[in-house]
Chains A and B, each alone.
Chain A
Amino acid sequence: MALHSYRIAREPYYRPAGDEIALFEAAHADRLPVMLKGPTGCGKTRFIEHMAWRLGRPLITVACNEDLTAADLVGRYLLEAEGTVWQDGPLTLAVRHGAICYLDEVVEARADTTVVIHPLADDRRALPLDKRNELLTAHPDFQLVVAYNPGYQSVAKDLKESTKQRFAALEFGYPTAATEAAIVAHEAGIEPAMARRVVAVAERSRNLRGRGLEEGASTRMLVHAGRLIARGVAPEAACRMAIVLPLTDDPDLRDALAAAVGACF
């Protein structure tokens, strides 16, 4: 089968923070387009991987950037010895064969690129391939999911109203301390007590959000710190390497954050 390599073999670890799994399953049952919103590193991508595994659907992920063209999504003709041959883009692949297509950081894509998903995200569920003169009707299993971080979008980077209003949305945030500690303990393979300390570091950094830091430490950062600790790095050094230094270049904040890390261990 065309999408075999896009199937997820092993269960990706995901710890629900609320009823997002049930909500997504309901949306998937009706193939509603879904938008995942939340800060970086809070588990949006992991969630969709988990859901794809859970629902038994292949998952095609596209990381959007400002150079992504509509052709990069839809497909293009390629040159071969005997002529041209059409190559489906990732979106077309998902539409044709029935996968979940996940557009990560969708606001980064240019506005003209995001427009190609419009006919797929309403009741038409079709993708016009103008270069091929083909109107591709979506496979019954196809579902469109996009993700973005509302935090750092600028005035220039926001989804068009016509795009936004085609989606149902799930909001993600950092999990509660206990949940987050369980995630860090599981993902990094460290003791729960140590994981709680690492989460305490994250709370310290999140306290500084908007007071010098754009964003506090993400769950992903905590997992990185935890992995260093699991490798035998001293906790303070691990947090400095995985959290404090990446977060800020401001010497005062760095100093304050390092001192606050010291208070956690």
Chain B
Amino acid sequence: MDGVDGNITLADVERRLRAYGTALWGVDPPLRPLVGEGDPAALRPRFDADLVRLPVVWPSLDLYRAALAHVGAHRMFSRPWPAKGLKPLLIIVVSLVEDARVEHLAMRRLPGLRRLWAPFHRVEPSPSLMAADLLERLARALFDAGYRDGNAWVDKGQRLFFERPERWDDPEFSLRLGGDLAGDLGKTRVQINARGHRVDPAYRDDNGGLWLHDTPPEPPRDTDDPLEAVRPEPMEGEGTRRTGPPQGSPSPPPLAVAENTALRPVARHPEWDHRIGLHRPDFVQVIEAVPEHAPPLSTPADARLAQRVRALVRHAVVARPERLRRQREGDALDLDACIAASAARRHGHVPDLRVYRRVRRRGRDLSVLLLLDASQSTNDPAGDGTVLDLERRSADLLAGALAAVGDRFALAAFRSDGREAVHWLPVKRFDDAYDAAARGRLAGLDGRWSTRMGAAIRHAGATLATQPTLRRLLLLVTDGEPSDIDCPDPRHLVEDARKAVRELAGRGIDVVCVALGGDPRTHHRIFGRRNVLPVDRVERLPEILPAVYVRLTG
């Protein structure tokens, strides 16, 4: 896998690389693809105070690792110098010495890095006096004290560099030695094309991060980088976020949301922007709204279905072992009961013969949040009602069964009207009973607005995270794909929802989607193939939903 020639894409190894970089240096700068024209083999990594840019495709994972380790060494040991008034040749040579200096400092701490970097220093002694060749050979000579070049300039650099290793700790050392060497090189008639100069070996960055320029030294390649246009700072809504209410504090609901039911902002959640690869903090406001009451649904039409659902749910075992004492039968003696029985016998009483104990798995250690999509599209007809009718019926059926077996569950619906108004409609909270009031709230749900799924998933995650059970499950029933009025780019909310699902998974919360339509590829992208249950005939939802629950919890 490592070091094998072939093409590795940054996207495939990004997570691994980030963990590697973090492990080495303890900081985790965002990695970005490097956008550039021309020969990809000529691309060199770049970094600045915030970002590390790496080529999108590179020959090997070790090259990525070597680059990250090198950039990490710079971030650890280098301090940028002002470049003003310095000749390009000086900048190149000083950078080269600085590269060697930070690598040696890094290798003092992590000697194994030598094995990572050494294979890329492949240049051999040659009579060539081309500047690029000399510089590459100097790079090797400064990396590898055992390398013998033969060229007077390279040898001088090597001798001066290794003469006093204790001076490596001083960044000025690179300036002085680099200055010397650049002066020597300038006196020879060596030709150098400073503008087209390419740093070698390939893992080393282009040194842009080492120098402070008053104005960009060259039109940076980033000008055509679309990422630059979408940096998070200038996003609209920044001001409102700062002045926005902190979590849970009461504040008047936004004017856009005119409704008579009690509206209460309860939380703000971040939203993932896949274009910049960052969360936009506190970007979405979740408003809790109490659903209007309606007469509860009549008891499920098909009593046999209800019966079957109940049995199904009861037999799904999600349990931790439980020790039962004072049993009539069991696999071990219950010592306390034995003693009581024996004492009773001696006292002339009739002993209690339940003297066994056994272990059984009974308690169902699980919390479920059933989350219903209540957007406009659920008003579409399905069967003999609407999609929402079916959602309500199946939720009622399942909730009845869950309440009967005593599983911890909550029931809620969501819809959104822009990022400041993601409505969360609690039908039954974990601590509420599933009673007539809850059933009334369920019946009173109506379909409106859009589907900002990521925010709803995050809010559900926050609710579930406080549940003290072994397993936590979010069961999301939706008829479509993420969308909202303020998001023209359909991919944005899809990627955000995908990120939200992964965040929940990271907290040990399972997320499963029951899809009543929409593009299956979108659902697979968000939830993962295994966690999507497509329901082709919406009318079957009332049967399927409990079966899903059982499969997940059994």
A residues with a Cβ closer than 8 A to B are 67, 71, 76-79, 83-84, 154-156, 197, 200, 203-205, 207-208, 211-212, 252-253, 255-257, 259-265
Q: Would A79 and B342 be within 8 Å (CB), given that A263-B69, A263-B113 are in contact?
A: yes
Q: Would A84 and B339 be within 8 Å (CB), given that A207-B22, A211-B28, A256-B17 are in contact?
A: yes
Q: Is B468 within 8 A of A205, CB to CB?
A: no
Question: With the chains together, A78 CA to B337 CA distance in Å?
Answer: 10
Give the A-B contact count at a CB cut-off of 8 A. 82
Q: Is A257 within 8 A of B342, CB to CB?
A: no
Q: Would A211 and B19 be within 8 Å (CB), given that A84-B343, A264-B110, A265-B112 are in contact?
A: yes
Over the window 25-69 of chain B, the binary record of Cβ atoms lying under 8 Å from chain A Cβ atoms (1 yes, 0 no) is 110100000000000000000000000000000000000010001
B20 at the interface (CB under 8 A from A): yes
B residues with a Cβ closer than 8 A to A are 2, 15-20, 22-26, 28, 65, 69, 109-113, 115-116, 323, 335-336, 338-339, 342-343, 346, 466, 468
Residues on B with beta carbons closer than 8 Å to the beta carbon of A263: 24, 69, 110-113, 116
Q: Is A200 within 8 A of B23, CB to CB?
A: no
Q: Is A255 within 8 A of B69, CB to CB?
A: no
Residues on A with beta carbons closer than 8 Å to the beta carbon of B20: 255-256, 259-260
Residue of A nearest to B17 (CB): A256
SS class, residues of chain A in contact with chain B: helix
Q: Is A200 within 8 A of B110, CB to CB?
A: yes
Question: With the chains together, A212 CA to B65 CA distance in Å?
Answer: 19
Residues on B with beta carbons closer than 8 Å to the beta carbon of A83: 342-343, 346
Q: Would A256 and B19 be within 8 Å (CB), given that A207-B24, A207-B26, A262-B115 are in contact?
A: yes
Question: With the chains together, A67 CA to B357 CA distance in Å?
Answer: 14
Q: List 15 A-B contacts (CB under 8 A).
A: A76-B336, A76-B339, A79-B338, A84-B339, A200-B109, A200-B110, A208-B23, A252-B19, A253-B19, A256-B16, A256-B18, A256-B20, A256-B22, A262-B115, A263-B110
Q: Is A262 within 8 A of B24, CB to CB?
A: no
Q: Is B23 within 8 A of A252, CB to CB?
A: no
Residue of A nearest to B336 (CB): A76
Residue of A nearest to B466 (CB): A155
The smallest C-beta distance from A250 to any residue of chain B, in angstroms, reads: 9
Residues on A with beta carbons closer than 8 Å to the beta carbon of B323: 67
Partner among B116, B336, B346, B466 whose Cβ is within 8 Å of the Cβ of A262: B116
Residue of A nearest to B2 (CB): A259
Question: With the chains together, A204 CA to B116 CA distance in Å?
Answer: 16
SS class, residues of chain B in contact with chain A: helix
The 5 closest A-B pairs by CB, nearest first: A156-B468, A256-B19, A260-B23, A256-B20, A207-B26
Q: Is A260 within 8 A of B466, CB to CB?
A: no
Q: Is A208 within 8 A of B110, CB to CB?
A: no
Question: With the chains together, A259 CA to B19 CA distance in Å?
Answer: 10
Q: Is A264 within 8 A of B111, CB to CB?
A: yes
Residues on A with beta carbons closer than 8 Å to the beta carbon of B336: 71, 76-77
Residue of A nearest to B359 (CB): A67
Partner among A71, A155, A260 whose Cβ is within 8 Å of the Cβ of B24: A260
The smallest C-beta distance from A103 to any residue of chain B, in angstroms, reads: 20
Residues on B with beta carbons closer than 8 Å to the beta carbon of A76: 335-336, 339
Question: With the chains together, A255 CA to B62 CA distance in Å?
Answer: 12
Q: Is A264 within 8 A of B112, CB to CB?
A: yes
The smallest C-beta distance from B347 to any residue of chain A, in angstroms, reads: 11
Question: With the chains together, A125 CA to B346 CA distance in Å?
Answer: 36
Residues on B with beta carbons closer than 8 Å to the beta carbon of A204: 23-24
Question: With the chains together, A265 CA to B17 CA distance in Å?
Answer: 19
Q: Is B23 within 8 A of A205, CB to CB?
A: yes
Residue of A nearest to B21 (CB): A256
Question: With the chains together, A260 CA to B335 CA distance in Å?
Answer: 53
Question: With the chains together, A255 CA to B2 CA distance in Å?
Answer: 10
Residues on A with beta carbons closer than 8 Å to the beta carbon of B22: 207-208, 211, 256
Residue of B nearest to A84 (CB): B339
Q: Is B335 within 8 A of A256, CB to CB?
A: no
The smallest C-beta distance from A215 to any residue of chain B, in angstroms, reads: 14
The smallest C-beta distance from A249 to any residue of chain B, in angstroms, reads: 14
Residues on A with beta carbons closer than 8 Å to the beta carbon of B346: 83
Q: Would A78 and B110 be within 8 Å (CB), given that A211-B22, A256-B20 are in contact?
A: no
Residue of B nearest to A67 (CB): B323
Residues on A with beta carbons closer than 8 Å to the beta carbon of B16: 252-253, 255-256
Residues on B with beta carbons closer than 8 Å to the beta carbon of A257: 19, 23
The smallest C-beta distance from B3 to any residue of chain A, in angstroms, reads: 11
Question: With the chains together, A253 CA to B18 CA distance in Å?
Answer: 9
The smallest C-beta distance from B91 to any residue of chain A, in angstroms, reads: 29
Q: Is A256 within 8 A of B109, CB to CB?
A: no
Question: With the chains together, A54 CA to B361 CA distance in Å?
Answer: 45
Question: With the chains together, A239 CA to B61 CA distance in Å?
Answer: 22
Question: With the chains together, A208 CA to B23 CA distance in Å?
Answer: 6
Known contacts A200-B110, A207-B26, A256-B17; 14 additional CB pairs below 8 A are: A76-B335, A76-B339, A78-B339, A79-B338, A79-B339, A204-B23, A207-B23, A211-B19, A252-B19, A253-B19, A257-B19, A261-B112, A263-B116, A264-B112
Question: With the chains together, A256 CA to B468 CA distance in Å?
Answer: 32
Q: Would A259 and B65 be within 8 Å (CB), given that A156-B468, A264-B110, A265-B111 are in contact?
A: yes
Q: Is A79 within 8 A of B335, CB to CB?
A: yes
Chain A CB within 10 Å — which of B16, B23, B338, B468 has the most?
Answer: B23
Residues on B with beta carbons closer than 8 Å to the beta carbon of A200: 109-110
Residues on B with beta carbons closer than 8 Å to the beta carbon of A252: 15-16, 19
Question: With the chains together, A260 CA to B18 CA distance in Å?
Answer: 11
Question: With the chains together, A252 CA to B18 CA distance in Å?
Answer: 10
Question: With the chains together, A154 CA to B508 CA distance in Å?
Answer: 12
Residue of B nearest to A85 (CB): B339
The smallest C-beta distance from B99 to any residue of chain A, in angstroms, reads: 17
Residues on B with beta carbons closer than 8 Å to the beta carbon of A260: 20, 23-24
Residues on B with beta carbons closer than 8 Å to the beta carbon of A77: 336, 339
Residue of A nearest to B333 (CB): A79
Question: With the chains together, A77 CA to B111 CA distance in Å?
Answer: 62
Q: Is A256 within 8 A of B23, CB to CB?
A: yes
Question: With the chains together, A197 CA to B16 CA distance in Å?
Answer: 23
Q: Is B19 within 8 A of A154, CB to CB?
A: no
Question: With the chains together, A77 CA to B110 CA distance in Å?
Answer: 60
Question: With the chains together, A83 CA to B343 CA distance in Å?
Answer: 7
The smallest C-beta distance from A241 to any residue of chain B, in angstroms, reads: 17
Residues on B with beta carbons closer than 8 Å to the beta carbon of A265: 111-112
Question: With the chains together, A77 CA to B336 CA distance in Å?
Answer: 7
Residues on B with beta carbons closer than 8 Å to the beta carbon of A261: 112
Residues on B with beta carbons closer than 8 Å to the beta carbon of A256: 16-20, 22-23
The smallest C-beta distance from A180 to any residue of chain B, in angstroms, reads: 15
